[in-house]
Amino acid sequence: MNQKIIVNSPAETIAVAQKLGSGLVPGSILTLEGELAAGKTTFTKGLALGLGIDAVVDSPTFAIVKEYEGRIPLFHMDVYRLDGDSDIEFILEYFDRGGVCVIEWAQVIEQDLPAERIDVKIQRLEGDGRAIIISGNEEELRHVDCSN
């Protein structure tokens, strides 16, 4: 299943992500793809709202994983700078911890990603426009309504 949503402001990106986040279940794994300033962190803020998290969500770049408590815990990961197998093991352990894992730069660990996941791509359009492409199999998207 594949859904493409056009948004025109950061607030609309947050609204789409919040709706998606409110349907996620423990163990959900999402990848986030998009160039710098596409809106990956903005999207994650919306996911956090949907998970009932009121903490400030910022970029995990210097932490590898940031953890937030909510209806379901959120593990926000940036795997761009992973260094070696022990770092990969460290990340993979989060997949079974009953939270929602959001992974930026997921292509770095592509062969370790479960097939059961949701992939989100954000493409920049003119100005504040963005195309948000959400894909996953029916099972993964069963609880999820991403329309705007």
Q: At closest approach, how far in Å is the CB of 7 from ligand ADP?
A: 5
Q: Does 41 bind Mg ion (CB under 5 A)?
A: yes
The two three-digit tokens of residue 37, written as one number: 């300033």
Give 33's strand partners: 121
Task: Give min distance, CB of 36 to ligand ADP, in A.
Answer: 5
Pairing of strands 118-124, 130-135: antiparallel
**Which three-class secondary structure string do you get for 84-135?**
CHHHHHHHHHHHHCCCEEEEECHHHHHHHCCCCCEEEEEEECCCCCEEEEEE
Does position 66 interact with ligand ADP (CB under 6 A)? The reply is no
| Torsional sign, CA 97, 100, 106, 112 | positive
- Residue list 96-135, contact with Mg ion (CB under 5 A): none
**Which of 4, 6, 9, 148 is close enough to bind ligand ADP by CB under 6 A?**
9
Site string for Mg ion, 50-69 (x = CB under 5 A): ---------x----------
The site for ligand ADP (CB under 6 A) is made up of 7, 9-10, 12-13, 34, 36-42, 128, 130
